Amino acid sequence: MTEISGGPFVVATILKVVVFFTLLILSIALGTYMERRLAAFIQDRSGPNRVGPIGLLQVVADGLKNLLKEETWPSAAYKGFFLLAPALALIPGTILFAVIPFASPAPTRWGYVDMIVADVPIGVLYILAIASLGVYGVVMAGWSSGSKYAFLGGLRGSAQMVSYEVGLSLSLVPVLMLAGDVRVPEIVTLQQHYPGDATTLGVWLVAPLLVGTFLFYLTGLAETNRLPFDLPEAEAELVGGYHTEYSSMKFAVFMMGEYGHLITTAMLVTVFFFGGWDIPFWSGDNIRVAADGSLIGEPAWWKTLLTLIAFVIKGGLVFATFIWVRWTLPRFRYDQLMDLGWKFIIEFVTIYIIVIAVAIYALDRAGLAFGPAYAAALLGVNVVLAVLLFFLFDRGRLIRGAGREAEREARRRLLEARRQVRQQTLSHALGESARLATTADDSSEEGR
């Protein structure tokens, strides 16, 4: 079977854009619902459960409420940029989905249809390029609001996203080294199990790249401004952060952008490390595009549907872990955030790339064929690194809390500062009284 082309291709592409974009917007709405429900469960509450069946229509009610609310324009705001910022926050998060394969190719009368909106040959690079555009919405909102809190939030957001972008990009390098390609569907194929085929690994990349998964997950959280990295919002310190001055639908668009970003990040974690739309322990979904553009395997509509369901379940589980982490961990301090980004993640990712590259080279030289055994060998390397990471480095070196030493140090500094102030006040008072004494003498002499 050949790929769809010509007129049917255009129609299929338009259909894919419309359907997948609608699904994405729908999943953003469901994402906010899921967040509220899971947050409630973690806190032993019920969450929204009154509008519609099990509260599913709550998102519609929220949307209506946001549309009907009054729109405010702060007098100090720069109107054009103020209006542009929510759009810039929403767009990068939502256009990322264009290069993510959702399901196995589907057969039609005119040829097979790839279940990916745009199968660009530079898929991963596109993802990295677009993911970093998210910062513009934050910065622009912070600056154009004409408010100090929003400005601080925007500054923090830009600093954070710039710092963690490097780590995010580098943590994908081991994946690319294994795949040997930056096309996203290739990475999914790599993780499918073809018995006896030495071009695929046959194991989800979470096993051979355990530490890489952790690092990508961590930096992904930081890129989406999620707790424990939500310093740009920091309700307790900055009122609402960069969107303090926004109301009504403009605020809702920021929220949609945040969840859109989050959902695409969950999809990326799924595609890169959890096999994408691959169904585990089943070779029926082994469908891939050969080098000459023809299709290997037996495509079917029911297989497309099954793989789509598998993808949604996996992505949903990753999204659920985001929520779980959010309602568990407290926010980092700013210095902890920067320390973690610059002093740990970037170095560690670089070392990780070198170690994995050496391991791949050694395994290739040892003549081991690509496959589960290869993955197991890499997993061994990762376990050693994970032990190093969690038991050696993580001894107050990753995140320095306000421990006994820090407290003692802070108290020492406070006492020192107090001593200095006291001394200054004392000397000032002494000087003052001496001055007063002399002027008093002068006046008394004059009076005489």
Partner 1 sequence: MAGGVKVLERPGAEGSYVRAASKGLGVTLKHMIRPIKVTQQYPDEKWELAPRLRGTHRMAVHEDGRAKCVGCGLCPTVCPVNCIKLIPAEDENGERYAAIYEIDEFRCIFCGFCQEVCPVEAIHLGVHYENAEYSRERWVYDLERLTELEHPYTALWDPADPTSQ
Footprint of partner 1 (CB under 8 A): 38, 40-46, 49, 324-325, 327-329, 389-390, 394-396, 398-407
Residues 259, 420: Cα–Cα separation, whole Å: 50
3-state secondary structure of 43: coil
Q: Are strands 295-296 and 288-289 parallel, antiparallel or unpaired?
A: antiparallel
Asked if 210 and 383 count as a contact pair (C-beta separation under 8 A), the reply is yes
Distance of CA 225 to the CA centre of its chain: 7
Smallest distance, partner 1 to C-beta of residue 330, A:
9
Task: Specify the residue, 380 or 401, whose C-beta has the smaller distance to partner 1.
Answer: 401
- How many helices and strands in the chain, by DSSP H and E? 16, 4
Smallest distance, partner 1 to C-beta of residue 2, A:
48
Smallest distance, partner 1 to C-beta of residue 332, A:
10
Task: Specify the residue, 147 or 213, whose C-beta has the smaller distance to partner 1.
Answer: 213
Task: Specify the residue, 380 or 403, whose C-beta has the smaller distance to partner 1.
Answer: 403
In degrees and rounded to multiples of 5, residue 391 shows phi and psi of -115, -15
Q: What share of the chain is helix, strand, coil (3-state, %, to 5)?
A: 65, 5, 30
Task: Specify the residue, 107 or 341, whose C-beta has the smaller distance to partner 1.
Answer: 341
Residue 127 makes CB contacts below 8 A (sequence gap 6+) with 96, 99, 184, 268
Residues 8, 108: Cα–Cα separation, whole Å: 10
Asked if 222 and 171 count as a contact pair (C-beta separation under 8 A), the reply is no
Task: Specify the residue, 196 or 330, whose C-beta has the smaller distance to partner 1.
Answer: 330
Task: Specify the residue, 13 or 49, whose C-beta has the smaller distance to partner 1.
Answer: 49
Smallest distance, partner 1 to C-beta of residue 322, A:
12
Q: Where are the beta strands (DSSP E) in 48-129?
A: 103-108, 111-115
Smallest distance, partner 1 to C-beta of residue 37, A:
10
Task: Specify the residue, 347 or 394, whose C-beta has the smaller distance to partner 1.
Answer: 394
Conformational region of residue 297, where left means phi above 0, alpha means psi within -120 to 50, and beta covers everything else? left
Residues 429, 424: Cα–Cα separation, whole Å: 8
Smallest distance, partner 1 to C-beta of residue 339, A:
11
Task: Specify the residue, 91 or 398, whose C-beta has the smaller distance to partner 1.
Answer: 398
Smallest distance, partner 1 to C-beta of residue 399, A:
4
3-state secondary structure of 114: strand
Smallest distance, partner 1 to C-beta of residue 327, A:
6
In degrees and rounded to multiples of 5, residue 115 shows phi and psi of -85, 60
Between the two ends of the chain, the Cα-to-Cα distance in Å is 119
